A and B are shown apart, each in its own frame.
Chain A
Amino acid sequence: MYTQALNAKPDAGEPQLEDAALLEAFQARIDAEDRIEPNDRMPAAYRKTLTRQISQHAHSEIVGMLPEGNWITRAPSLRRKAALLAKVQDECGHGLYLYAAAETLGTSREELVDQLLTGKAKYSSIFNYPTLTWADIGAIGWLVDGAAIMNQIPLCRCSYGPYARAMIRVCKEESFHQRQGYEIMVTLSKGNEAQREMAQDALNRWWWPCLMMFGPPDAASQHSDQSTKWKIKRFSNDELRQKFVDATVPQAHYLGLTLPDPDLKFNEQTGHWEYGAIDWDEFKQVIAGNGPCNRDRLAARNKAHAEGAWVREAALAYAEKRHARKAAA
């Protein structure tokens, strides 16, 4: 129910198949756009890469509940309150769904969650920024969910079946979130001066961190090459970032908002919006644990986990008692 009996490590015999012929056969399947399924043989590194990526994604969904959850009790209308609560609930569902996908690779949710709680595992850097006004809820839906969609749509064609299928469902909900967030921004930008200021301020604070969501520039990216070969990744970080900028800049203009980038300009030749330099030092600091909310986020997850321990123990104890009674009857 709450704990999965899936503590087994990948079979020691199985993916020691780093022998050339098997690797080649595996790559051939990938190249043929074959879907890899949980019981298929796969290289240990493929399993490891996917476990890391899917669990990081799951952690991001769960930690991502915190910044937005921060506004559920303060949402400015009952309609917004219900929509926000439903959205945060969706993110929790995404987390559960993704942990289940990661478990198909042989690591239990317990173990993965433990990696998050001890600070060993990473999650999306974006959730280490604070939500300071109601407009942040609009900006997150519009920009953060928008960026997530850019990242995740190609993952619907990821070579690993369970992850690809999870992404199809998740993407549908993320695009609903994106529209909902944008609609909050539309409402604010049509509102009074205080609301317009609030919207602009949120965009100012979330824009650059959102561009960082796509990860380091291609020149500096570590994982991309092998992930691309394995068709886990279909586009480079910079390609996805550019798609996001191109899609988002006109939306910002429609809102009558100014993007906080003096260097932003449209290149008529390429048809792309060119953006200014991203502060990668800030990104490194956030990844290293020094973002404005890293400590708060981990503390909140650890607190919930610790305070829930007696509940989980009780559920387990009761299940065991019931089982024993049934066996005795």
Chain B
Amino acid sequence: MAKTIRVNETPLVLYTLRRADDALILGHRLSEWCGHAPMMEEDMALANMALDLIGQARSLYTYAGEAEGGGRTEDDFAYWRDERGYRNVLLVEQQNGDFARTILRQFLYAHFADLYWRAMMASKDATLAAIAAKSEKEMAYHVRHAGEWVIRLGDGTAESHARIAAALEDLWPYTGELFEMDASEKALVDAGIAVDLSALRERWRANVKAVLDEATLTTPADGWMQKGGRTGIHSEHLGHLLAELQHVQHTIPGAVW
């Protein structure tokens, strides 16, 4: 029986895995909608965004494998780490809930990722810069798509307004973690490989607020922020997601698929 891997988390490997895990877990969540969306156009759109994110994850995992230098593949990272080994932010593993909640989660993340990848295009790490150039274009679409829905739902009916407002209140406490940096990341910032996330926060807030205003929604004040995902302390939701994601490989380990 193959076993959960222990990754040699050098700063670059850890940094890359964190971004890869964000993308994979959010992409996986979006893919759960496929065939069940409120309208067929959204089945298409949510699948599109899921594909973008899974694609980003694959490039990042592949790079993490190279950076680690142990010959690990994208699937080793995705299928052979458990909850404690995953490094994504808590926001992306939150359950889909209703369409408002899924859209709001996407909206909050996409606004972050859009700014983030745009800044990362200037990374001194050529691979990350290349991934950033591709991801930034994709996230610009996610920003637009999710933003249009936030406005429609916020300024739609009383019910849609109530639903998206509730989602906003529920999910806001998960936004602080997007901007968290530990010592290992700060070293990469100094080396010109990573970007200073704290520098993105004001712009993120302004961009998000502009859409929320148009949606007749009140931007929450920053109160207590949940965190832990970056060090593998997750919500209870992630384990179930991974059980599903990893099921086949764990049932028949060591096979080529």
Contact = CB atoms under 8 A, between A and B. Distances in A.
Nearest to A79: B58
Contacts of B99: 307-308, 311
A277 to B, nearest CB: 34
A318 B40 contact: no
Nearest to A309: B38
Contact of B38 (A1, A76, A187, A308): A308
**Per DSSP, are chain A's interface residues mostly helix, strand or loop, or mixed?**
helix
Given A191-B256, A195-B252, A318-B156, A89 B39 contact: no
B245 A318 contact: no
Contacts of A314: 152-153, 156-157, 159-160
Interface string B64-82: 0000000000110011000
B12 interface: no
B128 interface: no
Interface in A85-117: 85-86, 88-89, 92-93, 95-96
B41 A88 contact: no
Interface in B205-256: 244-245, 247-249, 252, 254-256
A317 B28 CA distance: 31
B174 to A, nearest CB: 22
A317 B157 contact: yes
Given A76-B248, A89-B43, A187 B256 contact: yes
B36 A85 contact: no
Interface string B43-62: 11001101100110110010
Nearest to B61: A78
A318 B155 contact: yes
Nearest to B156: A314
A17 interface: no
B237 to A, nearest CB: 13
Contacts of A269: none
B35 interface: yes
A38 interface: no
B34 A310 contact: no
A89 B27 CA distance: 14
A229 interface: no
Interface residues of B, number: 50
B189 interface: no
A48 interface: no
A259 interface: no
Contacts, number: 141
Contacts of B244: 73-74
A85 B252 contact: no
B252 A89 contact: no
A28 interface: no
B35 A66 contact: yes
Interface in B138-185: 151-153, 155-157, 159-160, 163
Nearest to B36: A304
A137 B157 CA distance: 40
Contacts of A96: 40-41, 44
A88 B48 CA distance: 11
Contacts of A75: 248
Interface in A51-75: 62, 65-66, 69, 72-75
Given A310-B157, A314-B153, A318-B152, A304 B37 contact: yes
B159 A78 contact: no
B252 A192 contact: yes
A303 interface: yes
Given A80-B257, A96-B44, A313 B160 contact: yes
6 contacts: A72-B31, A77-B75, A77-B79, A85-B51, A191-B255, A317-B156
